[in-house]
Amino acid sequence: MDEVIIPGTHNGKPVTQVADYAFVGDSRGTFACEKIVLPDTIQRIGNNAFEDCRSLVEVNIPDSVDAIGNMAFNNTAISTIEIPEGVTEIGSNIFNSRVVVRCEAAMKGDGWRSDWIGVDMPVIWNCNYSNTGDDGNTYLIADGALYKVTDSDAQFLGLSEKTGKNLTIAARFTYDGANYSVKRIAEAALLNGRIESLTVEEGIEEIGINAFSSCSNLTSVALPDGLKHIESTAFSGCGALEYVILPESLSDIGEYAFEDCYSLDGVYYKGTSALWGEVDVRTGNDDLNLANLYFYAASKPQEPATFWHYDQYYNPILWADDGYVMVAFDLNYEDGAAPSQVYVKSGDKLVRPEDPVRESYEFSGWCTDADCTQHMTLPDP
């Protein structure tokens, strides 16, 4: 279940409350919903209403709400939420960790408990006019993600809205005309997430503690060139993880970073065996150490058994797999770019690459001969 929409009426009567424990999960977070949509008839969100909904990323609090009960959103995957100015009563510990709370009000209301949020949890007051938290840091939402910003660099803190199963974390984003570079994925950024594949863009250098811990559906991870540090327990508990692509730039892998990744079969390293020996793989990474280790080679080596490359869909494949053939696309003119190479599994269709561009020329298609007499028909990507 990705989304739950609560109706505004039931049997002709308005729905005015989310009852105590209405959607409460259990210790395993089995109520797996990423988004809750509340109607503008709701006046009260009850005690523990969404507690332990560990996949819950996005929920709206309508302007009609005036009360939020104890621990209402405790132990969810929410990274940021907005509280309307009309909320006059808030119970204790409605969030317990890593949430940036955006409040329309200028200050805490008289009916808000003193322990309404956890210790050191940032609050942005007057959020309609400010992005600065009471901790002095700037927090921005862009393209469905929450970032903590320092100068022109940023940390990815988590998702501000539900996402698909295949997640790409961008290394750059634009907000209000300004460009920012993302250097770090923060601690617990996607703890208990429901993604199935993860790609991190080049430019991000660090992955924090517990960043993707307990993403139980995650099967593949592609980490970028330039990444230096994977901190402790970053991918622990990702029991469905089958393979990971690690860059040559990697310096260290923290303790238990890949603990309980018991399905991990392939580690595709973009460097050499000698460079892998220099990576500081710390204790608790038995599943990583026991997986098959492969090294990247752009062309087929004489002994291909432990070497890999990318196929046409940018997935890792082994050179030793004879089911693949290499196809080169040559622009066939002087000073043209070097031929691009793709690898296609025998029996699969060859996908047409992007049409090349050359000033004063019109591209008419790919051919199998240098004289361009034998045209090819290729399916769109």
- For the chain, give the percent of residues with pLDDT over 90: 66
Which distant-in-sequence residues (6+ apart) come within 8 Å of 195 by Cβ?
Answer: 163, 165, 166, 167, 215, 217, 218
Distance separating alpha carbons of residues 62 and 43, to the nearest angstrom = 8
The vertex-245 CA angle with 294 and 228, nearest 5°, equals: 110
Does some domain include residue 161? yes
Same domain? For 6 and 120 the reply is yes
Please give the helix or strand (H or E) that residue 276 lies within, else none: helix 273-276
Q: How distant is the alpha carbon of residue 84 from its chain centre?
A: 28
Joined together, the tokens standing for residue 178 give 């300004």
Under 8 Å between Cβ of 195 and 166: yes
Asked if residue 128 and residue 9 are part of one domain, the reply reads yes
Assess whether 151 and 69 both reside in one domain: no
Residue scoring higher pLDDT (341 or 24): 24
Q: Which residues, 6 or more positions from 61, have their beta carbon under 8 angstroms from its beta carbon?
A: 38, 45, 68, 81, 82, 83, 84, 87
pLDDT range class, residue 29, cuts 50, 70, 90: very low
Query: Has residue 117 been placed in a domain?
Result: yes
Q: Which residues pair with 82 in a beta bridge?
A: 102
Residues 248 and 330 in one domain: no
Q: Which of 33-42, 95-104, 276-285 has the lowest mean pLDDT?
A: 95-104
Q: Which amino acid is present at 360?
A: S
First-to-final CA distance of the chain = 30
Query: Does residue 279 fall inside a structural domain?
Result: yes
Q: What is the mean pLDDT of the chain?
A: 90
The tens digit of pLDDT for each residue in 226-263 reads 999 999 999 999 999 999 999 999 999 999 999 999 99
Specify if 308 maps to a domain: no
Q: Name the residue type at position 27.
A: S
Q: Under a CB-based contact definition with an 8 Å cutoff, are residues 46 and 22 in contact?
A: yes
Average pLDDT over residues 136-152: 93
Show which of 115, 135, 155 is a domain's final residue: 135
Pick the last residue of a domain from 135, 153, 177: 135
- What dihedral do alpha carbons 277, 278, 281, 287 form, nearest 10°? -20
Alpha carbons 206 and 208: distance in angstroms, whole number:
6
Q: What integer pLDDT is reported at residue 381 of this predicted model?
A: 61
Q: Are residues 234 and 281 in the same domain?
A: yes
Average pLDDT (279-292) is 96
- The pLDDT tens digits of the residues spanning 250-260 come to 999 999 999 99
What is the SS3 assignment for 318?
A: strand
Q: How many CB atoms lie within 10 A of CB 151?
A: 8
- Domain co-membership, 261 together with 371: no
Cβ pair 62, 42 in contact under 8 A: yes
Residues 125 and 200 in one domain: no
In our burial notation (b when 16+ CB lie closer than 10 A, e otherwise), range 304-340 reads beebbbbbbeeebbbbeeeebeeeebeeeeeeeeeee
For 65-103, write each residue's pLDDT tens digit. Answer: 999 999 999 888 899 999 999 999 999 999 876 789 999
In the three-class reduction of DSSP (H, G, I as helix; E, B as strand; rest coil), residue 306 is classed as: helix
170-182 pLDDT, tens per residue?
Answer: 999 999 999 999 9
Residue 341's pLDDT band (boundaries 50, 70, 90)?
Answer: low
Candidates 90, 119, 123, 84; CA nearest to 105 is 84
**30 has a pLDDT exceeding 70:** no
Please indicate, yes or no, whether residues 99 and 54 belong to a single structural domain of this protein. yes
Report the alpha-carbon distance of residue 331 to residue 334 in Å, rounded. Answer: 9
Between 163 and 80, residue with greater pLDDT: 80
The token pair at 295 is 């090294």
- Last residue of one domain, picked from the residues 135, 169, 190: 135
Per-residue pLDDT, 336: 66
321 in a structural domain = yes
pLDDT-based confidence at residue 311 (cuts at 50, 70, 90):
confident
Residue 1: pLDDT band with limits 50, 70, 90: low
Within 8 A by CB and 6+ apart from 297, the residues are: 304, 307, 308, 309, 319
CATH number, residue 98:
3.80.10.10
What is the model's pLDDT at position 325? Answer: 66
Residues 149 and 268 in one domain: yes
Pair (121, 177) in one structural domain = no
Do both 192 and 95 map to the same domain?
no
Please tell me what DSSP assigns to residue 354. Answer: P
268 in the same domain as 130: no
**Long-range contact pairs involving 369-378 (C-beta distance under 8 Å, separation at least 24):** 370/332, 372/332, 378/350, 378/351, 378/352
Domain-located, residue 309 = no
Structural domain that includes position 106? 1-135
How many domains does the chain fold into? Answer: 3
- Residue 260 located in a structural domain: yes
Specify whether the CB–CB gap between 158 and 145 falls below 8 A: yes
| pLDDT for res 290 | 95
Q: Determine contact, residues 60/38, Cβ cutoff 8 Å.
A: yes
306 domain-assigned: no
